[in-house]
Structure 1
């Protein structure tokens, strides 16, 4: 059940190899699309109360799903035309044809029921990130930064990089490598041992951490997002609070749910929506894809790539990173961090050329330098 959540690249690579040689049967619930591509021989899709089996990996299933949806759309279009014709007749409902009219009305109701089968109730149309205030030339400039802890060693040694306006930076590396530590240095929660982290004057940070602990379980979704107000301030503009809730697929009755009753994915969405009310222009996401279903992942991918701010995202979801990233910041071991311009797949090719190929291995750190 979600075996790759919280696993780093090395652990996922090991698991994929193990399952490839495992002689028994494996049934896995997962939203990790690369994992599905590399491991799965069958896909069982749960859609609108039905289980639809498909022989093949995730990429092959996507092609099959696309064709099925295209076929469904044609049927739905034809059904919509029939419904509209029936509705037009029902509205006319001429006198003297009441008995016939009731039969046609029943037919209309049946057609509506049939049409509803095409729509899954849990579909998420989109996630909307409010437009970001304009950024200046300096966003985040990391100059010769070193950071470590006694007992863990030197995590980062002499990191230099400049995050440009409009960038989407994927941050990858083993658990405990120092990825969240970098976020803490950017936000000012922690400080480098050497060097400096310069945050531009026009930057307004928005940070979604892993814990989601800042949410109040006793409040409703609407109260948590709006504070009970009818309007929400998004930086320089205001929007209707209930409309804003619906941007993140909290519609009608869902807005009255207690936060403590939400699923992991719903809490994730709520935390993101709450953070974005600050109307910032640099979004920092720490493992945002954990507990999100594939539909929500796609909506988040589209929202990030359409947004005009900077996104920095710590994630082990390789498919997600490959779709959104313009740059990769990789913790590669020996206290070294590589900043690479390109997608995740392009980074992987570059890494294999530099390091002689192979899957990621357990990283090691240099010892802490002696204190003067």
Structure 2
């Protein structure tokens, strides 16, 4: 069984082996969290192929690593697998270097053996031992990007300051309501929120490409800003990779080629035209240009798009090592979790600041949602019971009958939904499946409120 998002195939049939191929592709954060919760309690075996590192950390207990036709098994989640793999690679490198040193030493002794019969016999014995040892293979060198973002100089303590900032496009609802926020020097800040919430618009306000409708935003003293856009832009689509870099900064051909090699553009790859590059290659080329410009405040809009895992990890390390300030938008939760020390959440025009990293942000958001839900239920119950208490006693009986009828209808609707779970067509529709789960939860919450309201009426009648 293969599950290819966005269509879920017979999840509720609960097969003994569920195979998922890139299940988080094209899913929003809410649906991914729902899928994670579902899979954590799945009673049978799951085999998943995914580049979503955070998802793998949440779900898997074992990793099968396929490399050069060889399959190896590692216990633990993705992060634990990477640590084990790193330790193995270091151990293999040390073993290889140690053995090569031993072989060289033995060969030198053999080659320099004296001409005496005893020395020659001993040399032949050494040579025979060398032929019998099991050779440690040379560690395969995995090509990765190697770079750092150049730091210009320290800015002032205030990097970005906004007060009563508000923005909307003409005749549209506000994307950003009156809000204040502050980004200080050295902060690593993630800007998160649903698709279409206005994250890129906020970045454009900081960049000065848009003007606020109200309030103001300003950059602090000595801020030297560099920007990595979501839409990769180039001087010319017909430029070669080499010419694109030379157009960005004056340097010799040798310097340009050496720099591009750090981003895996080597040999004839530097002569590929921009229009022929893959998405990952275009991202690496934009990073190569960005790494030629000194700055102390870097803004990234979805920098992880199209990058492979090795490139992502190199980018993470480069940003963690950067001395200045970083503000970025990303849907890669692993990237956000590793890099961000503070979070700005934009949703429904409201910008909320969280002075901590991603894990604590997730816990805080869950806590806020639970509090809000409980408060809404308490307010609703209070209004209903107060209204019922004010009604004349002769209406209480009628109200009880109406409540019982409505309770019966909700219980019947819930039963119908639960029965439909067993029907095959439901499992083909992610969105419908999620809506049904949410509807059951909504019915349960409403029934609790109605039961309590009915009991209030019962007590009032007494």
TM bucket, shorter chain: 0.7 to 0.9
In structure 1, what is the Cα distance between the partners aligned to 2:249 and 2:207? Answer: 29
In structure 1, what is the Cα distance between the partners aligned to 2:105 and 2:160? Answer: 59
**Partner SS, residue 192 of structure 1:** coil
Residues 322 and 344 in structure 1, CA contact (< 8 A), matched pair in contact too: yes
| Count of matched residue positions in the alignment of Structure 1 and Structure 2 | 342
Correspondence for 1:273 among 268, 271, 288: 288
Choose 198-207 or 71-80, whichever is displaced more: 71-80
The equivalent residue for 2:350 is: 336
1:280-315 deviation per Cα after TM superposition (whole angstroms, max 9, x unaligned):
221111111122222222211111111122111101
In structure 2, what is the Cα distance between the partners aligned to 1:206 and 1:132? Answer: 11
Q: CA deviation at 1:78?
A: 2.1
Q: CA deviation at 1:178?
A: 0.8
In structure 2, what is the Cα distance between the partners aligned to 1:84 and 1:193? Answer: 74
Correspondence for 1:183 among 203, 215, 239: 203
Residues 186 and 197 in structure 1, CA contact (< 8 A), matched pair in contact too: yes
**Partner SS, residue 146 of structure 1:** strand
Give 1 or 2: higher helix fraction. Answer: 2
Q: CA deviation at 1:40?
A: 3.2
The equivalent residue for 2:100 is: 80
Correspondence for 2:311 among 280, 291, 296: 296
Cα separation, partners in 2 of 1:169 and 1:13, compared to 1, 3 Å: same
Cα separation, partners in 2 of 1:228 and 1:170, compared to 1, 3 Å: closer
The equivalent residue for 2:137 is: 114
Residues 343 and 354 in structure 2, CA contact (< 8 A), matched pair in contact too: yes
Q: CA deviation at 1:134?
A: 2.4
1:190-222 deviation per Cα after TM superposition (whole angstroms, max 9, x unaligned):
122211110224222211111214364433322
1:14-54 deviation per Cα after TM superposition (whole angstroms, max 9, x unaligned):
34345557799866543321111123354332334533344
Choose 1 or 2 for highest CA Rg.
2
**Partner SS, residue 212 of structure 1:** coil
In structure 2, what is the Cα distance between the partners aligned to 1:208 and 1:49? Answer: 37
Higher relative contact order (CA 8 A, sep 6+): 1
In structure 1, what is the Cα distance between the partners aligned to 2:174 and 2:110? Answer: 75
Q: CA deviation at 1:61?
A: 2.2
Unaligned runs of 5+ in 1: 233-238, 363-372
Choose 244-253 or 21-30, whichever is displaced more: 21-30
**Partner SS, residue 293 of structure 2:** coil
In structure 1, what is the Cα distance between the partners aligned to 2:237 and 2:316? Answer: 27
**Partner SS, residue 174 of structure 2:** strand
**Partner SS, residue 137 of structure 2:** helix
Q: CA deviation at 1:184?
A: 0.7
The equivalent residue for 2:297 is: 282
Cα separation, partners in 2 of 1:7 and 1:181, compared to 1, 3 Å: farther
In structure 2, what is the Cα distance between the partners aligned to 1:182 and 1:71? Answer: 47
Q: CA deviation at 1:173?
A: 0.8
In structure 1, what is the Cα distance between the partners aligned to 2:263 and 2:160? Answer: 28
Cα separation, partners in 2 of 1:19 and 1:352, compared to 1, 3 Å: closer
Unaligned runs of 5+ in 2: 1-20, 373-433, 436-462
Q: TM-score, normalised by structure 1?
A: 0.77
Correspondence for 2:58 among 29, 38, 54: 38
Residues 207 and 283 in structure 1, CA contact (< 8 A), matched pair in contact too: yes
Cα separation, partners in 2 of 1:79 and 1:225, compared to 1, 3 Å: farther
Cα separation, partners in 2 of 1:131 and 1:89, compared to 1, 3 Å: farther
Residues 222 and 228 in structure 1, CA contact (< 8 A), matched pair in contact too: no
